[in-house]
């Protein structure tokens, strides 16, 4: 389907057996009006309910449906990465399987892809609990926009449209899927956002809570590091390491002066231990931090190691 203006809709699924059929019906009704080829790529992320069985039933009836079944629950980012790999459309749309994203918003996103590489949904009237979902989201979006320099109201909205040549060149791990718009700008991609409808959850309960915020913040640190220092990592760790090492050296010079010129005993002074400690910390921050970050990047990208394991794929010859 690539090269024909086709659309691939990628949907991670985890324990959403009740939502799958209504979602499929809504989605196909909208996609049929586009007048362009389409496919729906469901990625079952190790569901423990009957989600996979529901997806297999749909795939047997509709050849435009592709089902990618992962061997266990790898997380939403890994499921997204699997969906991107198997998607063939020129435009890739992502959305949740819980019916909170409205398929009727897809045409508005696709319209913007003529001028932009990434079109992000904005759940302006979000139908979630304020204290546990909306308030942390507001704070996180402002922080992410400030740190990355890419101003979006709703990084957490899964409903997005990407040009495939942009998203297929991005390596994902951790909780990185929400940062795709920011990462895409590193490669010169253009980003915009569109207001989208957000609906209350009809079945089941949310798979995410406040604990996810901590992981997102840690990944934000990684994104900021890679954005600012991936080609010059010494600039990130060097200043702190040099400050500590310089402080240790200065204390060492002072103690040496006392020992050589004043013949004072410095062996029992706490300052001697402090000087040694600062020197060691300075070197460790520069060397271990640099090696740790660059090895992680090499592990995930240079070796092309996938962050998911596929059990089977239905709908591809």
Q: What is the CATH number of the domain that holds 204?
A: 3.90.550.10
For residues 180 and 74, membership in a common domain is answered with: yes
Residue 180 placed within a domain: yes
For residues 222 and 248, membership in a common domain is answered with: no
Residue 203 has pLDDT above 80, yes or no: no
For residues 260 and 129, membership in a common domain is answered with: no
Of 214, 229, 244, which residue constitutes the final position of a domain? Answer: 229
For residues 136 and 270, membership in a common domain is answered with: no
Which of the residue ranges 29-43, 136-150, 156-170, 253-267 has the most confident prediction, judged by mean pLDDT? 29-43
pTM for this model (two decimals): 0.75
Q: Are 251 and 275 in contact (CB under 8 A)?
A: yes
Of 182, 201, 229, which residue constitutes the final position of a domain? Answer: 229
Average pLDDT over residues 52-80: 94
Q: Are 94 and 10 in contact (CB under 8 A)?
A: yes
Split at pLDDT 50, 70, 90, the class of 292 is: low
Residue 316 placed within a domain: no
Split at pLDDT 50, 70, 90, the class of 302 is: low
Domain encompassing residue 93? 7-229
Residue 125 placed within a domain: yes
Split at pLDDT 50, 70, 90, the class of 311 is: confident
Q: Which of 85, 81, 309 is nearest to 173 (CA)?
A: 81
- Into how many domains does the chain fold? 2
Residue 308 placed within a domain: no
For residues 273 and 128, membership in a common domain is answered with: no
Average pLDDT over residues 53-65: 95
pLDDT of residue 262: 82
CA distance 1 to 66: 13
CA distance 191 to 119: 6
Q: Are 19 and 98 in contact (CB under 8 A)?
A: yes
For residues 154 and 48, membership in a common domain is answered with: yes
Task: Please list, in sequence order, all residues whose beta carbon lies within 8 angstroms of the beta carbon of residue 314, skipping any fewer than 6 positions away.
Answer: 55, 56, 59, 66, 67, 69
Percentage helix, strand, coil for the chain under 3-state DSSP, each rounded to 5 = 50, 15, 35
Which string of b and e fits 42-70 if b means at least 16 CB within 10 Å?
bbbbbbeeebbebbbebbeeeeebbbbbb
pLDDT of residue 289: 67
Residue 14 has pLDDT above 90, yes or no: yes
Cα distance from N-terminal residue to C-terminal residue, the chain = 13
Residue 93 placed within a domain: yes
For residues 289 and 190, membership in a common domain is answered with: no
For residues 257 and 223, membership in a common domain is answered with: no
Residue 150 placed within a domain: yes
For residues 192 and 108, membership in a common domain is answered with: yes
Q: Are 42 and 68 in contact (CB under 8 A)?
A: yes
Of 184, 209, 229, which residue constitutes the final position of a domain? Answer: 229
For residues 37 and 174, membership in a common domain is answered with: yes
CA distance 26 to 22: 6
For residues 159 and 134, membership in a common domain is answered with: yes
Residue 294 placed within a domain: yes
Split at pLDDT 50, 70, 90, the class of 221 is: confident
Split at pLDDT 50, 70, 90, the class of 174 is: confident
């Amino acid at each position: 389907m690539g090269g024909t203006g086709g659309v691939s809709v990628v949907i991670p699924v985890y324990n959403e057996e009740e939502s799958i059929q209504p979602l499929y019906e809504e989605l196909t009704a909208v996609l049929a009006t586009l007048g362009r080829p389409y496919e729906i790529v469901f990625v079952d992320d190790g569901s423990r309910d009957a989600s996979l069985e529901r997806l297999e039933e749909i795939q047997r009836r509709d050849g435009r449906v592709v089902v990618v079944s992962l061997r266990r629950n790898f997380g939403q980012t890994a499921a997204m990465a699997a969906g991107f790999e198997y998607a063939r459309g020129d435009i890739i749309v992502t959305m949740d399987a819980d019916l909170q994203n409205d398929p009727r918003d897809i045409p508005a996103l696709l319209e913007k892809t003529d001028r932009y590489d990434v079109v992000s949904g904005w759940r302006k009237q979000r139908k979630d609990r304020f204290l546990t979902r909306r308030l942390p989201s507001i704070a996180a979006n402002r922080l992410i926009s400030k740190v990355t320099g890419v101003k979006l109201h709703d990084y957490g909205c899964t409903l997005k449209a990407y040009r495939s040549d942009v998203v297929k060149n991005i390596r994902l791990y951790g909780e990185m899927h929400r940062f795709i718009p920011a990462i895409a700008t590193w490669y010169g991609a253009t980003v915009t956002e569109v207001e989208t409808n957000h609906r209350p959850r009809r079945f089941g309960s949310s798979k995410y809570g406040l604990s996810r915020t901590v992981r997102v913040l840690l990944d934000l640190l990684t994104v900021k590091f890679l954005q600012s220092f991936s080609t010059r990592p010494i600039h990130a760790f060097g200043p702190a390491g040099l400050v500590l090492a310089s402080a240790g050296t200065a204390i060492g010079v002072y103690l040496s002066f006392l020992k050589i010129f004043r013949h004072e005993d410095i062996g029992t002074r706490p300052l001697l231990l402090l000087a040694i400690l600062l020197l060691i910390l300075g070197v460790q921050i520069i060397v271990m931090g640099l090696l740790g970050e660059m090895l992680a990047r090499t592990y995930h990208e240079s070796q092309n190691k996938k962050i998911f394991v596929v059990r089977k794929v239905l709908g591809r010859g």
